[in-house]
Amino acid sequence: MSWNHRHLLDIQSLSAEDILTVLDTARAFKAVGERAIKKVPALRGKTVVNLFVEPSTRTRISFELAAQRLTADVINFSAEVSSLKKGETLKDTARNLEALNADIIVMRHSAAGAPHFLARFLKSSVVNAGDGAHEHPTQALLDLFTIRERKQTIAGLKVTILGDILYSRVARSNIWGLLKLGAQVTLCGPATLVPPVFRQLGCRVTYDLEEAIAEAEIINLLRIQHERQRQTMFPSIGEYTSLFGLTQGRLARTRPDVLIMHPGPINRGVEIDSEIADCGRSVILEQVTNGLAVRMAVLFLVNGGKGPQEIAA
Ligand code: CP
């Protein structure tokens, strides 16, 4: 088990073995988080910059805490009060951060490909924390970690991703990761938001919600990505909820062992009934908790770590 990537830009370019290396390393870091002293010196003397040019709650805080747990110095860059507002280019901003000896730049950006662009010229490691509608690799890794922890294995598992697939980076990263680990992936939502072209990746596509959720062992709900939609994709929120919202009545017609997942932020009463978000089958907050261990693993690995064998039990 050996990781050899300087950046984490997407899930598409990872192998199944790479993904399992991250998950196993995260498991070791989760055990560290259960000790009285939760910090390890793995990144002592290193600097991690959180370069978030788009809003975030979970991802940014989770990366900040992960870097702190690894004893790195952490800088949180706020686009709103930065020189990006004065016309500085992203390239110049990133090169200035590197000039200040940033070892790892964690970036969220509204433009697909922005982290790949930085990785072409920076000596620092680059971690994609979400780029436009393209990918959100650490979200998929924490989702896979949560699924594996709850269901023991991912191969053969029936996973339904429900909602706005077209504009969702979480959907793309999850699809790549789930398929690489052998899951059966079903996509469902309004036809305007779930193009049939996803079948070419190996997913089942259906517009019949009842069919999509009946046999699912995992239902991963996505919110409507209003900020990325450039046109009206369905008549109204009310109609979306009536056709594709996960209601108590619909949940009653699923498997008793189904797990409900959501990357957040959730829109209660739109894609998910409020009671379902808080019910015993929901692992939404567990996903957030696991995100810390997964992001510790990612920072450790892109900084030269090889795998879980290097983390003291
Ligand atoms: N899931 C997720 O990326 O949430 P944030 O936008 O709050 O980081």
> What ligand 1 atom has the least distance to the C-alpha of 129?
3
Q: Can you point out the beta strands (E) in 93-156? A: 104-109, 125-131
Q: Structure pTM?
A: 0.96
* Residue 290 confidence (pLDDT): 98
Q: For residue 251, how far is its CA from the centre of ligand 1 (angstroms)?
A: 25
Which residue from 52, 53, 58 has its CB within 8 A of the most atoms of ligand 1, so it is best to mutate? Answer: 58
Q: For residue 62, how far is its CA from the centre of ligand 1 (angstroms)?
A: 10
Q: Which CATH architecture has domain 16-134+290-310?
A: 3-Layer(aba) Sandwich (3.40)
What's the pLDDT tens digit per position in 22-47? Answer: 999 999 999 999 999 999 999 999 99
Q: For residue 59, how far is its CA from the centre of ligand 1 (angstroms)?
A: 5
Contact 213, 254 (CB under 8 A): yes
Helix axes 284-302, 16-33, angle to 10 degrees: 110
- Give 137-287's CATH code, choosing from 3.40.50.1370, 3.90.550.10, 3.40.50.720, 3.40.50.1220: 3.40.50.1370
Helix (H) or strand (E) holding 126, with range, is strand 125-131
Which residue from 52, 53, 54, 56 has its CB within 8 A of the most atoms of ligand 1, so it is best to mutate? Answer: 56
CA distance 108 to 129: 5
* Residue 263 confidence (pLDDT): 97
Looking at the DSSP bridge assignments, the partners of residue 158 are 184
Contact 241, 282 (CB under 8 A): no
**12 Cβ closer than 6 Å to some ligand 1 atom:** no
Residue 252 is encoded by which pair of tokens?
């009653």
CA distance 157 to 137: 20
What's the pLDDT tens digit per position in 185-235? Answer: 999 999 999 999 999 999 999 999 999 999 999 999 999 877 777 667 777
> What ligand 1 atom has the least distance to the C-alpha of 130?
3
Count of CB atoms within 10 A of residue 130's CB? Answer: 25
Low-confidence residues of the chain, pLDDT below 70? Answer: 230-231
Which residue from 65, 134, 135, 139 has its CB within 8 A of the most atoms of ligand 1, so it is best to mutate? Answer: 139
Residue 310 is encoded by which pair of tokens?
């290097």
* Residue 226 confidence (pLDDT): 74
Burial label for 285, CB within 10 Å (0-12, 13-18, 19+), is exposed
**186 Cβ closer than 6 Å to some ligand 1 atom:** no
State whether residue 188 is helix, strand or coil. Answer: strand
CA distance 24 to 309: 9
Burial label for 154, CB within 10 Å (0-12, 13-18, 19+), is buried
**58 Cβ closer than 6 Å to some ligand 1 atom:** yes
Start-to-end CA span in the chain (Å): 17
Only one residue has tokens 């450790």, namely: 300
Diameter over CA atoms, the chain: 57
> What ligand 1 atom has the least distance to the C-alpha of 264?
1
96 CB-near residues (< 8 Å, 6+ apart): none
CA distance 222 to 240: 12
Q: Where are the domains of the chain?
A: 16-134+290-310, 137-287
* Residue 264 confidence (pLDDT): 95
* Residue 237 confidence (pLDDT): 87
The dihedral built from the CA positions of residue 234, 237, 240 and 246, taken in this order, carries a sign that is positive
**59 Cβ closer than 6 Å to some ligand 1 atom:** yes
- Domain 16-134+290-310 and domain 137-287, same fold? Reply is yes
> Among the residues of 152-236, which ranges form H helices?
169-180, 209-214
